[in-house]
Amino acid sequence: MRMNEIVPVVEMTDIAIGFPGVKALDGVDFRLFQGEVHALMGENGAGKSTLIKALTGVYAIDSGTITVLGEPKRFSTPGESQAAGISTVYQEVNLCPNLTVEENVLLGREPRRRGSIDWKGVRTRTREVLAELQLDHIDPGSLLSTHSIAVQQLIAIARSVEINAKVLILDEPTSSLDADEVRQLFRVIRDLRNRRVAILFVSHFLEQVYEISDRMTVLRNGKLVGEYLTRDLSRMSLISKMIGKDMEALAELDQAPARTRASNGAGVTPFIEAKGLGRKGSVSNVDLSIYPGEVVGLAGLLGAGRTEIARLFFGADKADEGSIKIKGAGQRIRSPRTAIDKHIGFCSEDRKEEGLIGELTVRDNLVLVMQASKGWARRIPRRVQDELVAEYIEALDIRPANPDALIKNLSGGNQQKVLLARWLVTHPELLILDEPTRGIDIGAKTQIQKLVNKLAADGMSILFISSELEEVLRVSDRVAVIKDRALVAEINNDDVSVEDVMTVIAGGAQ
C-alpha cells in the first residue's frame, strides 16, 4: 500500500484536549495522506470538530504531537495552520458575505504593487483559480452574498486552492446542498484529489461518505476507535463502531417490546399529523403522525435531522413546506408561542443554551412556561407556585429540594427534571423530548424513562428523541427512523431489535 511507504502529510499522535469538565479528545491518533479523501466519522460530540480545530489552530492541544510533512508543528492561530498549508471550509462557510468573490479568494494575500492592491492582478488570479476548478461561470466581481451556499463553498475551496493548500478540510460541506450541488462539489473534490491534495471530509450523510471517501477514521467519545479503508468497512460495522456496540452484543440486546398500548387504528384521530413537512437546509418531506397516549421514538444518528424535525413541530423554526394538522384541523405553527397555545411542549437537547435560565431559581424556571402563557401582569400567586414546585420536586425527586436554589448550581439530571417539570405543569398534549437523558446519571435516567411511560399511559403524546437506540426502543410504541435529513422508515415496536433499526439506518446495504 502506498500509505505505508510515504510520509503522511499530516500526522497527529496521542492528541488530548480538555475543556473544564470534559475530555474532548483523549489520546487520538490521526494521519492523512496525499491524494486521498479521508472521512472523519463519529456522532456529534465524538470529537470530530475538536480534532479539526486542533489541526486548524483554533484550539491549542494539551498534549500530543502534530507533524506536517514530517515536521513537528504547534499551531496557536488559524494563520499559522494556514501558513503550513492546511485550509478549512466550514459548514457555515467562513467567508465575508459583504465582499466580492475575488476578494474572498485572495483576502490577506492580494497581489500588491508599491503597497497598493493590484486589483487587475486580483481579477486575473481569481479567474485562473476558478478556471482550474472549472468554475469559470462564477463572476469574480460579484458579491459573495449573491451566491447560493453551494457556490460559496466552492469559492471557499477556490481560496484554499489559491493558497496552494496541501490539506483541505471540509467540515459538513454538504449539509445544506441539494443533490445537483453535491455532485458539483464532489467533482471538484475528486479533481483536487487527483492533484494530490489531501482531503479531510466530515459529513453526517453516510451515503456521501461511501461515495467520496477512500479511508476513514472513527472517533467515539473523544477516543479513537480505528482507521479503516472505506471499501473494507460495511455500513453496518461502521455504525456499530460509531455508536459503540459490536454486532454480537447487539444481537443479545434483542428485547421484548416495552408494551403494547396505544391504539392507532382506524377511527382514532392523531393528535398531530405532519405531511410533507420541511425546511430548506434542514429536513425535507417529513410525514409523521403521533396519536394520543403514544410514544413515538425518533431514531437515527446524531445530526441526521432529528432535532430539526422536533424544532419544526414546535415552531422553533418555521417550516417552509408541508402542512400540520392538530386533532384533525389544519394549523400553522409560526412560533413556540403558538405551539404552546396548542398544548405542545419541547425540551431542547441543549439544556444550557435553550432551556435553563441559569441565573434564576428552580422556582422561577419551573413556572416559566406557565407564567409566560399567563402574561406578565397575572403573576402566579406565590402560594400556587409553592404548591406546584413542591409537588414536582417531590414527584420528580429533584435535589436539592430547595425551590430557591439557582438552577445553574444543580446537577445535569436535576436541571433536566426541572425543565421537564416546566412543561408538565402546563399539561401539554404533546411533549417533545430531545435527548432528555443525555449527560445525566443512571438513576435520573431511569426515573425519566419511567415518567415518559406514565405520561403516555395518562394519554399524553410523546415524541422521544435519543441517541441511545436501546432507550428509544424501551420507551417507544413506534420508531421513526431518520437518515440523511429525511424520514426513511416507520417501525411498529413489536419485536424490533437494535440491530433491526441499525440495518434500516445503514440503508439495507448488506
Partner 1 sequence: MSPLSTLTPLTVKKSSPARNRLRGGARYAPTLATVGLFIAMFAVGAGMYPSFLSGQVFLNLFIDNTFLIVLAVGMTFVILTGGIDLSVGAVVALSMMVSATLLQQGWNPGAVIVLVLLIGGGLGLLMGLVIQYFDIQPFIVTLAGMFLARGLCYVISLDSIPVTEGFFTGMAQAQIPLPGDLFVSPGVLLALGIVTVAFFVLHHTRFGRTVYAIGGNEHSAMLMGLPVKATKILVYALSGLCSAIAGILFSFYSLSGYSLAAQGMELDAIAAVVIGGTLLTGGTGYVLGSVVGVLVLGIVQTFIAYDGTLSSWWTKIVIGGLLLVFILLQRLFARKAG
Partner 2 sequence: MKSLLKHRLAWPVIALAALLLLNQVFKPDFMSLRMQDGHLYGSLIDIMRNGAPTILIALGMTLVIATRGIDLSVGAVVAIAGAASCAYIAASPEPGSPVTAATAVLIAVVAALALGVWNGFLVSTIGVQPIIATLVLMTAGRGVAQLITGGQIVSVSNDSYKSIGAGYLFTLPVSILITAAVFALAAVLTRRTALGTLIEAVGINPVASRLAGLRARNIIWIVYVFSAVCAAIAGLMISSNVTAADANNAGLYIEMDAILAVVIGGTSLAGGRYTLVGTVVGAFIIQTLTTTVYTLGIPPEVTLVFKALVVITVCLLQAPKARNLLSRLKAAPKPAAQEAAKEKVAI
* Residues at the contact surface with partner 1, assessed by CB under 8 A: 1-3, 35-37, 56, 58, 77-79, 82-83, 88, 90, 94-100, 103, 107-108, 110, 112, 115-117, 119, 134, 137-139, 141-143, 145-148, 151, 159, 180-181, 183-184, 187, 190-191, 193-194, 214
Closer by beta carbon to partner 1, 190 or else 454: 190
Q: Is 117 in the site for partner 2 (CB under 8 A)?
A: no
Binding at 194: pick from partner 2, partner 1, none (beta carbon under 5-8 Å per type): partner 1
Q: Considering the complex, what minimum distance in angstroms separates the CB of residue 159 from partner 1? A: 8
Q: Is 332 in the site for partner 2 (CB under 8 A)?
A: no
Residues 352-381 that bind partner 2 (CB under 8 A): 353-360, 364, 368-369, 371-380
Contacts of residue 146, Cβ cutoff 8 Å, sequence gap at least 6:
none
Q: Considering the complex, what minimum distance in angstroms separates the CB of residue 379 from partner 2? A: 4
Q: Considering the complex, what minimum distance in angstroms separates the CB of residue 434 from partner 2? A: 11
Tell me which long-range contacts 258-261 makes (C-beta under 8 A, separation of at least 24). Answer: 258/453, 258/473, 258/474, 258/475, 258/476, 258/477, 258/493, 259/453, 259/477, 260/477, 260/494, 261/293, 261/294, 261/456, 261/457, 261/477
Q: Considering the complex, what minimum distance in angstroms separates the CB of residue 374 from partner 2? A: 7
* Class of residue 334 by CB neighbours under 10 A (exposed 0-12, middle 13-18, buried 19+): exposed
Binding at 376: pick from partner 1, partner 2, none (beta carbon under 5-8 Å per type): partner 2
Closer by beta carbon to partner 2, 402 or else 497: 402
Choose which of 31, 125, 220, 422 interacts with partner 2 (CB under 8 A): 422
Choose which of 104, 348, 414, 461 interacts with partner 2 (CB under 8 A): 348
Do 278 and 322 meet the contact criterion of CB atoms below 8 Å apart? yes
Binding at 357: pick from partner 1, partner 2, none (beta carbon under 5-8 Å per type): partner 2
Question: Of all residues in the chain, what percent are helix, strand and coil, respectively (each to 5)?
Answer: 35, 25, 40
Distance CA 289, CA 299 (A): 15
Mapping DSSP onto H, E and C, the string for 335-376 reads CHHHHHHCCEEEECCCHHHHCCCCCCEHHHHHCHHHHHHHCC
Binding at 137: pick from partner 1, partner 2, none (beta carbon under 5-8 Å per type): partner 1
Q: Considering the complex, what minimum distance in angstroms separates the CB of residue 355 from partner 2? A: 6
Q: Considering the complex, what minimum distance in angstroms separates the CB of residue 137 from partner 1? A: 6
Task: Establish whether the linkage from the previous residue to 400 is cis, with ω within 30° of 0.
Answer: yes
Contacts of residue 393, Cβ cutoff 8 Å, sequence gap at least 6:
362, 401, 403
Closer by beta carbon to partner 1, 17 or else 188: 188
Binding at 234: pick from partner 2, partner 1, none (beta carbon under 5-8 Å per type): none
Residues 267-326 that bind partner 2 (CB under 8 A): 314, 316
Binding at 110: pick from partner 1, partner 2, none (beta carbon under 5-8 Å per type): partner 1
- Strands (DSSP E) found in 118-253: 167-171, 198-202, 215-220, 223-229
Closer by beta carbon to partner 1, 138 or else 326: 138
Contacts of residue 463, Cβ cutoff 8 Å, sequence gap at least 6:
290, 296, 298, 310, 313, 430, 431, 432, 433
CA 76 to chain CA mean position, Å: 27
Closer by beta carbon to partner 2, 304 or else 369: 369
Residue type, 58: V
Binding at 392: pick from partner 2, partner 1, none (beta carbon under 5-8 Å per type): none
Binding at 71: pick from partner 1, partner 2, none (beta carbon under 5-8 Å per type): none
Distance CA 78, CA 379 (A): 51
- Residue 166's alpha-carbon distances to 33, 476, 478, in angstroms, are 10, 48, 48
To the nearest 10°, report the CA torsion of 76, 79, 80, 82.
130
Give the interface with partner 2 as residue ranges (CB under 8 A): 314, 316, 335-337, 339-341, 346, 348, 353-360, 364, 368-369, 371-380, 422
